[in-house]
Structure 1
Amino acid sequence: MNVVVFDLETTGLSPERDAVVEIGAVRIIDGRVEETQKFETLVRPTTAAGEPLLIPWRAQQVHGISNDMVRDAPHMAEVLPAFLEFVGPSAVVAHNIGFDGGFMRANARRHGLEWRPAAEYCTVQLSRRAFPRERAHNLTVLAERLGLSFAPGGRHRSYGDVQVTAQAYLRLLELLRVGA
C-alpha cells in the first residue's frame, strides 16, 4: 500500500472561484504513516486570472490562516508541480475527496497540468461504510469515534488534519476488513 493522504485549506468552497491557501500531505507505505515523507506549504492565493485574492474573514476563522501568513508564500503555479511530483503515481486519500480533489482538478487545469492520481479514496465514504448507523462523519467526530486526537492547533490546518486522516484511514481499513 502506497498512498498519499492530503488536505487543503482554502479561501472558500468553490474550486472555480476560491483558492488554496495551504496544502499538507503525508505518505503511507506498507500500512505505516511515514512522517519523514511529508509535504506542507502555505500558498499565496490568487484568482483564476492570477490576481491577488484576500482570504475572507470567515475562512480565516475556520483555519486560522491570515493574509499576513501567506504574503510571502509561493503561488500555486510554483507549489502545484512540486505537489504533483510528491504524489507521483500513488493513490490519494482525503477526508471528503470530492472537495479536495475538485480543487486539485481545477488548479491543475488552470495551470496546464493534470491531476491523475492512481485512485482516490475518501475517509468520509469509508466512515459511512464502517459506521452505517451514525449520522455525522466529519473529521472531528470520526477522530473521536476512533480514539484519535489532533495535535494542539492542528485541527483545520492541513498537516494537522492529514495526520489524523492518515490514522483514520488505516483504522477504517482495518475495521472494514474485520467486518467483511
Structure 2
Amino acid sequence: MNVVVFDLETTGLSPERDAVVEIGAVRVVNGRIEETQKYETLVRPMGESGQPLLIPWRVERIHGISNEMVRHAPTMPEVLPEFLEFVGDSAVVAHNIGFDSGFMRANARRCGLVWQPAAEYCTVQLSRRAFPRERAHNLTVLAERLGLNFAPGGRHRSYGDVQVTAQAYLRLLDMLKVGA
C-alpha cells in the first residue's frame, strides 16, 4: 500500500472561481504513516488572469489563513509541478475526495498539467461503509468516532487534517478489512 493522503484549504467551494491557499500531504507506505515524507505549503491565491485573489473573512475564520500569511507564498503554477512530483504514481486519499480532486483537476488544467493519480480513495465513503447507520461523516465527527485527535490548531489546516485523515484511513481499512 502506497498512497498520498492530501488536503487543501481554499478561498471557497468552486474549483472554477476559487483558489487553493494551502496544500498538505503525507505518504502512507505499507500501512504506516511516513511523517518524514510530507508536503506542506501555503499558496498565494491568484485569479485566472493572474490578479491576486483575497481570502474572504468568513473563510479565514474557518481555516485561519490570512491574506498576510499568503502574501509571499508561491503561486499554484510554482507549487503544482512540485506537488505532482511528490504524488508521483501513488494513489491519493482525501476526506471528500471529490472536492480536493476537483480543485486539483481545475488547477492542473489552468497550469497545462494533468491531475491523474493512480486511484482515488475517499474517507467519507469509507466512513459511510463502516458506519452505515450514522448520518454525519465530516472529519470532526469521524475523528471522534475513531478516537482520533487533531493537533492543537490543526483542524481546518491542511497538514493537521491530513494527519487525522491518514489515521482514519488506516483504521477504516482495518475495520472494513479492505486493502488499498
Alignment of 1:146 with 2:146, yes or no, is yes
Percent of pairs identical after alignment? Answer: 84
Q: Determine the C-alpha separation between the residues in 2 that align with 1:62 and 1:110.
A: 26
- 1:52-101 Cα offsets, whole Å, 9 max, x none, are 00000111011000000000000000000000000000000000000000
TM-score, with structure 1 as normaliser: 0.98
**Aligned positions of 1:1-180 closer than 5 A:** 1-177=1-177
SS state of the match for residue 53, structure 1? coil
Supply the RMSD in Å over aligned alpha carbons: 0.7
1:51 shift after superposition: 1.0
- 1:122-147 Cα offsets, whole Å, 9 max, x none, are 00000000000000000000000000
- One-letter amino acid of the structure 1 residue matched with residue 86 of structure 2: F
Contact 1:95 1:122 in 2 (8 A): yes
- One-letter amino acid of the structure 1 residue matched with residue 9 of structure 2: E
SS state of the match for residue 14, structure 2? coil
Q: Determine the C-alpha separation between the residues in 1 that align with 2:50 and 2:91.
A: 29
1:49 shift after superposition: 1.8
1:30 shift after superposition: 0.2
TM-score, with structure 2 as normaliser: 0.98
Q: Determine the C-alpha separation between the residues in 1 that align with 2:176 and 2:50.
A: 44
* Structure 2 unaligned regions, length at least 5: none
Q: Determine the C-alpha separation between the residues in 1 that align with 2:21 and 2:49.
A: 16
Contact 1:44 1:72 in 2 (8 A): yes
SS state of the match for residue 47, structure 1? coil
